[in-house]
Amino acid sequence: MQFVFSGLTTGAIYALAALGFSLIYNASGVINFAQGDFLMLGGMVTAALLAHQMPYGLAMVGGVAATVIVGLLLYRLAIRPAGEASVVSLIIITIGASIFIQGVVQIVLGKNQQTLPPFSGDRALQIMGAYVLPQSLWVLGTAAVLVVLCFGFFRFTMVGKAMLAVAANALAARGVGIPTARVLQLSFGLSALLGAVAGVVAAPVTTTVYDIGLMLGMKGFVAATLGGLGSGLGAVVGGLIVGLLEALVAGYISSAYKDAVPFVMIVVILLVMPHGLFGAKTSDRV
C-alpha cells in the first residue's frame, strides 16, 4: 500500500507533465522537449522568491507567472520565427530551449537542490495502513482539478475548440477565421502554466534542481505516449501507471535503476500499441 501511494503521487506529477505535452501536441503537432523544464522553473523560481522573504502564496504566483512568460517567449522567439520548419527542426529547437533554460537557471539560481515547505504541515496521515504525507493529497487533488479543467476547456469553450481545429488543419482553421498564431501562442502559455503549477505542488515531495526537468519531461512523455498522445484521459492514466510501476520497481527490485523503467516501457509500448491506450488511430500522410 505504501508503494501504491508513493507511486500514485509521483504518477500524478507525471500525469501533469504528460498533460502539458498533450496540450502543445494537440495544438501544433510539436513535442516540446522543454516541457519538463516548465515544471522545474515553477518550483525553482518559487523557491528563490521564498528565499527572498516573499510570502508563500505570492512566491507561488510569481513562480507560475515567470514560467508562463518563459513559455510564451519560447513560442514567440524560437518556434514562430522558424516558420514552416520541419518537425525535425522544431524538435531540435525545443531541445535547444530546454538546455538553454537549464543553463540560465543553473547560473542565476544555482546548482543546489531546492525544496519548498509542504502546504499543510508534514504530519503523515494514516490511510488504509499506509502513511501518506498531506502534500501527496495536494498533488493528487491538484492533478484531478487541472485534468477536469483541461477536459472542460477543450470540450466546452470556443478557444479550446479552436485549438483542436488548428491542430487538425492549421490552414483550414485560418480559413474559417481562427487566429492560428494566437492559438498556438496560447497553447504554449497554457502548457507552461500546467507545468509550473505541477512543479510548485510537486516540489515539496520531490525537491527540485536545475536539471530535474530532463527526467520529469522524459517520464511525462512516456506517460503521454502510453496513454495516447493528445488524449487528456490517456495522459492521466499513463502518468499513474508509470508512477506506480516505478514505485514498485524501486520498492521491490532496485531504487538505483527505477529511472530505467520509463525507457524500457516506451520501447515496449510503442511496439505493442503505437497509439497508446486512448490515442486516436491515424495514418501518416505521405
Partner 1 sequence: MKALFRPSLLALALVLALLPFALPNNYVVDIAVRIALAAIAAIGLNLLMGFAGQISIGHAAFVAIGAYVSGIVTARFGWPPLAAIGGAAVGAAVVAWLIAKPILRLKGHSLTMATLGLGVIVNIVLINEVDWTGGPDGMPVPPLEVAGFAFAKVRHWYALAAVLLWLSVLLSLNLYQSPAGRALRGLNGSEVAARVMGVDVARFKVRAFVASAVFAAASGSLTAHYLGFISPSIAAFTHSVELATMVVLGGMASTFGAVLGAALMTALPQLLGGLHGYEMVFFGLVLMLTMIFLPKGLVPSIALKLRRKG
Residue numbers of the site for partner 1 (CB under 8 A)? 31, 33, 78, 81-82, 85, 87-89, 91-93, 95-104, 106-107, 211, 214-215, 218, 221-222, 225, 256-257, 259-260, 262-263, 266-267, 270-271, 284, 286
- The nearest distance, CB 77 to partner 1, in angstroms, is 8
- Please identify, using beta-carbon distances, which residue of 34 and 201 lies nearer to partner 1: 34
Give CA–CA dist 232/20, Å, rounded.
9
- Please identify, using beta-carbon distances, which residue of 14 and 138 lies nearer to partner 1: 14
Yes or no: say if 6 and 244 are a contact pair by the CB < 8 Å rule: no
- The nearest distance, CB 167 to partner 1, in angstroms, is 15
- In the structure grid, which three cell numbers stand for residue 82, read together? 522558424
- Please identify, using beta-carbon distances, which residue of 40 and 59 lies nearer to partner 1: 40
- The nearest distance, CB 121 to partner 1, in angstroms, is 34
Nearest one of 241, 209, 214, 207 to 225, comparing CA atoms: 241
β-bridge mates for residue 111, sequence order: none
Strand pairing category for 130-132 and 125-127: antiparallel
Give CA–CA dist 47/137, Å, rounded.
21
CA distances from 180 to 27, 74, 162, 188, 261 (A): 9, 16, 8, 13, 38
- The nearest distance, CB 199 to partner 1, in angstroms, is 19
- The nearest distance, CB 82 to partner 1, in angstroms, is 5
- Please identify, using beta-carbon distances, which residue of 24 and 162 lies nearer to partner 1: 24
- The nearest distance, CB 285 to partner 1, in angstroms, is 9
- Please identify, using beta-carbon distances, which residue of 110 and 117 lies nearer to partner 1: 110
Residue whose cell numbers read 504528460: 18
Give CA–CA dist 221/215, Å, rounded.
10
- Please identify, using beta-carbon distances, which residue of 31 and 116 lies nearer to partner 1: 31
